[in-house]
Amino acid sequence: MKELLKKLTEVYGPSGNEGPVLHILQKELKGHVDSMKIDVLGNLIVTKGRGKPRVMLAAHADEIGVAVTHIDKNGFLRFTNVGGLRPVNMLGHRVRFQNGTLGTIGEEKRDSLKDELKLEKMYIDIGARDKAEAAKRVAVGDMGCFVQPFVDTGSRLIAKAFDDRVGCAIVVEALKRMRKPACSIFAVFTAQEEVGVRGARTAAYGIKPDVAVAVDITGTGDTPESRTMAVGLGKGPAIKVMDGGMLASPQVKEALIAAAKRLRIPYQLEVLIGGTTDAWGIQVTLEGIPSGVISIPTRYAHTPSEMVDARDVENCVRLLVEYVRSL
Amino acid sequence: MNKNAEMLKRLTTPGGVSGFESPAAQAAAREFKPLADTVQHDRNGSVVATKFATSRKRGKKAPLLLIDAHVDEIGLIVTRIEDDGMLRIAQIGGFDQRVLPSQEVIVHARRPLRGIIGSKPVHLLTPEERAAVDKLEDLYVDVGLPASSVRRLVQVGDYMSMAPWFHELRNGFYAGKAMDDRTGVAAQILMLEALKGRQHTWDVACVAATQEEYGGYGASTCAFRLAPDAAIALDVTQGQAPGLSEDETFPMGKGPCIAVGPNIHPGIYDRLCKAAKAEELPYSIEPVPGVTGTDAGPIQVTRHGVPTGLVSIPLRYMHTSVETVAMLDIERTGRLLARFVVDMEGPEKLRE
Amino acid sequence: MQLLRQLSETHGVAGNEKAVRDLIWSEIKTRVDSKEVDAMGNLIVTKKGRKSRPRIMLAAHMDEVGLMVVNIDKQGMLKFRAVGGLDERALLSKHVLVGKDKTPGVIGAKPVHLIWRREEEMKRPPKTDELHIDIGASSKEDAEKQVKIGDYAMFDTEYASLGPTIKGKAFDDRIGCALLVELLKKPLPVTVHAAFTVQEEVGLRGARIAAFRIEPDIAIVLEGTAAGDFPEKRDLSKAAMIGKGPVITIMDRTVICDRKLVDLAIACAKKARIPFQLKRPGVGGTDAGRIHMTKAGSRTLVISVACRYVHSPASIASKADIRNAGRLVSAVLKAL
């Protein structure tokens, strides 16, 4: 599974440009599922099994990134954010565009280091000597994402875009382990979560599931002087109670807790202040779709170096498989 | 206390924090039962009490009017249990942060626990700290139990509601928690009572909707399922009080507010005003230049669109534990709605 | 352009689009095959083309930003609030027309003579709640003879041709409406479901239910977009310029447009030698934001005409841009 995590986190795939991620997922899932299709918004929808209920699993394929807004006469690129990007996490980092063009991020002179860092005062330098040279490699509207290698420290893993490629990997692994599911599984690797939970909503409308579970990352409260959050790395999958957008449906939350207890794996209950997941968009669709979330505790979310615990990831897979089996 | 005040007390005292509305929803359902033809709970926890058109008994198919009030209230949730058994909290919906210190709450744990919202004692504060509103992360709930008992009884994600005070003030004013928006539910009940024995050609579905204050989806999902031909949302609005601009507040005890603006269908607005005049009820016009922050917002854009109105009851001290309303305004809202229902013509008349 | 003059001078603040809808309907009623006005006031018409697939929605919004009367004070002054994202700086000292009877009024504030000593007040534009509309009423009762709380008010702006450009109000998005009307008057290569939508300016609300009804495979939104061709020394991200051709959106705050459609539009423009510009990514939003997420989703494209000073009492746009936007939409329809 670490192989897959490495592939998925190192690949390029900002919102609206999920193609390369879906390509890996399709190759990985071949022979393990009944059908695969990509819909108009770019969601990869995979089905497995027949029967009731119809359960939707969602993990988003996109990641945060940058979009070029201007190429200046010296070939520097001005940019805007794609999703929740914090300027402070960007300085000195590298970004890559779909065609492989690499650039480093710099900033205009700041009068005082106390001044707030702003995206408008930053730029991407792709090493072009002038506008004409830059324009051969990038165009306005092109999107880039961070570049960072996947690192395995033994118990913990560091990479960019664990949000939410770790969720994608968990769903893939769970699909492989569920050999003959008794219900209809619709696994959706959703598009455009980071820009406002867009793909999940249209996918849910099309699928009309009876119940849905999103698999996504959450923050932790176990780092020095961090927020007061009960979730920590290595303490098991987090089962969402509430986040910045939604309250998880009680029946899904309870079923997930029951599944974790049956497996005798550790689990944590999660109340996240700020932020939300695909489940928020799915829950409000149609007559309301009972939705819950299995969250992977993740440090340093939305930075180029997000960290997860390998045992948590494995336990998330087991929890998802057990939950679906019990439906 | 009179009969209607007793009813309001029965509605407001149960806990009904967004996502955990069951006690309040059950209280609403009990009140609806004798007055409606059917009472259901939908999959999202909302209560739907339907009174069929009297013309239906003559075999006619009736159009459907949805009357929405939200049953949920704002509350708190446990985010972490400290080593000493103190509970760290987050908001579900938005309390006025200034009112939190020293409030009494009920923690809905394995068994209900009484608690007090604590903060650093005033004697130990620096002058700067005294001048500032406590940050939410500095507050905690103290249930007065040893840490080991707390750990056994409470878990992260347990919710809390304000302690259920209900007070009668002078001149038919009442104060308590969750007046936002159980007063709307009370108005639904009074409307159903007022409809007894009267002829009407529309089916009326009273929805006590969940998750208006957080998540925002009880009303929209219920409207999607019912696909009504018209809808009215009932909510509260800012009552006049010292220091507030008259541009944005409405007099207490002078009748309900009928909203007008993009979120409101002009035909519904006109008919509500006509109904008020026919009943000789005072009312205020509440102009809302954009989307109202009520269930009328999502209901209007459900499916192909729903002609939607909004009637609001003026309320002082919104999103505190002492929300204050005038009973007269609730009663008038009930009468206004009943008249509106009785006078409704066919849905095609709502087309301009 | 005669039609655009009428459209620009008609009042249609979000929530009160009836006059615009009636004008549009009178223009197209003999040219379309079916009509629906829905619960919020969207005008949805269908015009058959040579083929019926894919299912195409074209959308332009009828509403504009404006004012609403929220209170009448003792002196008979009208207190108001903005409907939609009005440029607050532009409010002071303007002529307005209030309510159905179009009662004339002026927007007043404390005169400069009485505040000149208080420098802070001179340095910032007055806030909406410090302003009022004066219709010359002698008292609250007198004002109430003409005006009601909840009445809409709109700037009294005359449309004019300035040579290669035009000036007027509400070009966002009456230009889109005019383009769509002109298109419906011609034979079409493919059946079009045209939605003249309401309430774009208060949260893209009309388009959502229109798209729910139409259920398009492909949606093309026609818009007026903010131009940024004011003097600017720094070599930074720019908004579109007027006179440089129709504007194609790649991404804004509400949508990432379908890349194949964007590429198709660019190819069509190049083939027909229509000048075009790309909209600065990441800013603004249009009805496309709701349409592409309705039901199971649709592919969307946004084609705009750059307008200077949108969301203010008077904007300026280029005649050539409007012509070229019409040509570009026709070319795209033909290529679908």
What does the radius of gyration of chain C's CA atoms come to, in whole angstroms?
21
With b for 16 or more beta-carbon neighbours within 10 A and e for fewer, the C71-81 pattern comes to: bbeeebbbbbb
Sequence length of chain B is 352
Structural domain that includes position C120: 66-155
Residues of chain B falling short of pLDDT 50:
none
Count of CB atoms situated within 10 Å of the CB of A101: 19
| Domains of chain B, first to last | 3-73+177-351 (3.40.630.10), 75-162 (2.40.30.40)
- Answer yes or no: do C307 and C204 share one domain: yes
Residues of chain B neighbouring C82 (CB-CB closer than 8 A): 289
Could you tell me which chain B residue has the CA closest to the CA of C82? B289
Does some domain include residue C296?
A: yes
Contact B53, B35 (CB under 8 A): no
pLDDT at C60: 98
pLDDT at C112: 64
Q: Which amino acid is at B279?
A: E
DSSP secondary structure of B248-289: S-B-TTS--EEEESTTS-HHHHHHHHHHHHHTT---EEEE-S
Q: Which amino acid is at C131?
A: L
Nearest-CA distance from A205 to chain C in Å? 5
Q: Which amino acid is at A30?
A: K
pLDDT at A132: 97
Sequence length of chain A is 327
- Answer yes or no: do C228 and C314 share one domain: yes
SS3 B103: coil
Cross-strand bridge partners of residue C69: C80
User: Considering C155, C182, C214, which residue would you say is the last residue of a domain?
Assistant: C155
**CB within 8 Å: A283 and B215:** yes
pLDDT digits (tens, 9 = 90+) for C83-94: 999 988 889 889
Phi, psi values for residue A36, rounded to 5°: -140, 135
Total domains, chain C = 2
pLDDT digits (tens, 9 = 90+) for B57-70: 777 789 999 999 99
Distance CA C99, CA C97 (A): 7
C214 Cβ contact list (under 8 Å, min separation 6): C44, C55, C57, C193, C195
Known catalytic residues of C are: 200
Contact B100, B91 (CB under 8 A): no
| CA dist C300 → B165, C57, C194, C333 (Å) | 53, 9, 14, 13
Residues of chain B neighbouring A241 (CB-CB closer than 8 A): 77, 156-157
**CB within 8 Å: B304 and C82:** no
Does some domain include residue C300?
A: yes
Structure tokens at C20: 């615009």
- Residue C207: which CATH number? 3.40.630.10
- Answer yes or no: do C127 and C222 share one domain: no
- Answer yes or no: do C72 and C60 share one domain: no
Looking at the predicted structure, is the pLDDT value of residue C28 above 80?
yes
Does some domain include residue C49?
A: yes
pLDDT at B129: 80
Nearest-CA distance from C289 to chain A in Å? 10
Nearest Cα residue to A203 out of C295, C56, C255: C295
Does some domain include residue C163?
A: no
Known catalytic residues of A are: 193
Q: Is A111 left (phi over 0), alpha (psi -120 to 50) or beta?
A: alpha
Could you tell me which chain B residue has the CA closest to the CA of C295? B303
Contact B287, C70 (CB under 8 A): yes
Interface test with B, best of A210, A228, A253 (most B CBs within 10 A): A228
- Answer yes or no: do C293 and C192 share one domain: yes
- Answer yes or no: do C230 and C275 share one domain: yes
Phi, psi values for residue B50, rounded to 5°: -110, 130
- Answer yes or no: do C19 and C112 share one domain: no
Nearest-CA distance from C11 to chain B in Å? 14
Looking at the predicted structure, is the pLDDT value of residue A89 above 60?
yes
Could you tell me which chain C residue has the CA closest to the CA of B289? C83
The band of C117, judged by pLDDT with boundaries at 50, 70 and 90, is low
- Answer yes or no: do C146 and C263 share one domain: no
pLDDT at C114: 67
pLDDT at C332: 98
Could you tell me which chain C residue has the CA closest to the CA of B259? C150
Phi, psi values for residue B33, rounded to 5°: -45, -55
Looking at the predicted structure, is the pLDDT value of residue C228 above 90?
no
- What sign does the dihedral B31-B33-B35-B40 (CA atoms) show? positive
Q: Please report how many Cα atoms fall inside a 13 Å half-sphere around the Cα of residue B138, on the Cβ side.
A: 12
Could you tell me which chain A residue has the CA closest to the CA of B221? A287
**Residue carrying structure tokens 């005890």:** B253
User: Considering C127, C155, C183, which residue would you say is the last residue of a domain?
Assistant: C155
Looking at the predicted structure, is the pLDDT value of residue A212 above 80?
yes
- What sign does the dihedral A176-A180-A182-A184 (CA atoms) show? positive
Distance CA C19, CA C8 (A): 11
- Answer yes or no: do C84 and C184 share one domain: no
Percentage of chain A exceeding pLDDT 90: 94
Phi, psi values for residue B36, rounded to 5°: -115, 160
Distance CA C161, CA C322 (A): 13
- Answer yes or no: do C52 and C72 share one domain: no
Structure tokens at B304: 């192909």
pLDDT at B4: 97
Count of CB atoms situated within 10 Å of the CB of C50: 10
**CB within 8 Å: A221 and B78:** no
Cross-strand bridge partners of residue C195: C44, C59
Does some domain include residue C59?
A: yes
Does some domain include residue C160?
A: no
Using CB atoms within 10 Å of the CB of residue C26, give its burial: 0 to 12 exposed, 13 to 18 middle, 19+ buried. Answer: exposed
Kindly report which listed range (A84-93, B182-191, C27-36, C152-161) carries the lowest average pLDDT score.
A84-93
Contact C38, C199 (CB under 8 A): no
Distance CA C248, CA C278 (A): 5
pLDDT at C21: 98
Cα of A216 vs its chain's centroid, Å: 6
Contact B72, B182 (CB under 8 A): no
Residues of chain B neighbouring C150 (CB-CB closer than 8 A): 260-261, 285, 287
How is residue C129 annotated by DSSP? G
Cα C41–C47–C51 angle (5° rounding)?
140
Cα B43–C207–C257 angle (5° rounding)?
100
User: Considering C155, C180, C203, which residue would you say is the last residue of a domain?
Assistant: C155
* Closest Cβ opposite residue A67 in set C251, C258, C294: C251
* Closest Cβ opposite residue C69 in set B287, B291, B306: B287
Using CB atoms within 10 Å of the CB of residue C164, give its burial: 0 to 12 exposed, 13 to 18 middle, 19+ buried. Answer: exposed
Could you tell me which chain C residue has the CA closest to the CA of A17? C259
- Answer yes or no: do C212 and C326 share one domain: yes
pLDDT at A110: 86
Contact B302, B156 (CB under 8 A): no
Q: Percent helix, strand and coil across chain B, each rounded to 5?
A: 35, 25, 40
Distance CA C292, CA B81 (A): 43
**CB within 8 Å: A242 and B220:** no
With b for 16 or more beta-carbon neighbours within 10 A and e for fewer, the A52-85 pattern comes to: eebbbbbbbbbbbbbbbbbbbeebbbbbbbbbeb
Does some domain include residue C161?
A: no
Tell me the residues of A at the C interface, defined by beta carbons under 8 Å apart: 15-16, 39-41, 67-70, 72-73, 78, 80-82, 120, 140-141, 192, 195-196, 198-199, 201-203, 205-206
Interface test with A, best of C57, C215, C238, C251 (most A CBs within 10 A): C251
Does some domain include residue C313?
A: yes
**CB within 8 Å: B246 and C71:** yes
Interface test with A, best of B72, B76, B79, B110 (most A CBs within 10 A): B79
- Residue C75: which CATH number? 2.40.30.40
With b for 16 or more beta-carbon neighbours within 10 A and e for fewer, the A14-42 pattern comes to: bbbbbbebbebbeebbeeebeebeebbbb
pLDDT at A84: 93
Q: Please report how many Cα atoms fall inside a 13 Å half-sphere around the Cα of residue B162, on the Cβ side.
A: 30
Interface chains of chain A (3 or more CB pairs under 8 Å): B, C
**Residue carrying structure tokens 């420098």:** C119
pLDDT digits (tens, 9 = 90+) for C260-318: 999 999 999 999 999 999 999 999 999 999 999 999 999 999 999 999 999 999 999 99
Distance CA A12, CA A35 (A): 25
Interface test with C, best of A120, A202, A285 (most C CBs within 10 A): A202
pLDDT at C115: 60
Could you tell me which chain B residue has the CA closest to the CA of C44? B304
Check B73, B212, B213, B286 and give the catalytic one. B212
Across chain A, which distance is largest between two alpha carbons, in Å?
Answer: 64
Nearest-CA distance from A21 to chain B in Å? 31
Residues of chain A neighbouring C281 (CB-CB closer than 8 A): 67-69, 80, 140-141
Residue B197 forms contact with C (CB below 8 Å): no
**CB within 8 Å: C150 and B261:** yes
- Answer yes or no: do C103 and C212 share one domain: no
Residues of chain A neighbouring C251 (CB-CB closer than 8 A): 16, 67, 82, 141
Residue C323 forms contact with A (CB below 8 Å): no
Residues of chain B neighbouring A245 (CB-CB closer than 8 A): 215
DSSP secondary structure of A176-200: HH-SS-SSEEEEEEES--TTTS-HH
Residues of chain B neighbouring C205 (CB-CB closer than 8 A): 262, 291, 300-301
Q: Which amino acid is at C78?
A: L
Residue B144 forms contact with C (CB below 8 Å): no
Question: What value does the mean pLDDT take over residues A291-311?
Answer: 97
pLDDT at A145: 97
How is residue C75 annotated by DSSP? T
Q: Is the peptide bond before B138 cis (omega within 30 degrees of 0)?
A: no
Contacts 24+ apart (CB under 8 A), C323-327: C324/C245, C324/C246, C324/C274, C324/C275, C324/C276, C325/C175, C325/C179, C325/C222, C325/C246, C326/C179, C326/C182, C326/C183, C327/C272, C327/C274
Distance CA B289, CA C19 (A): 19
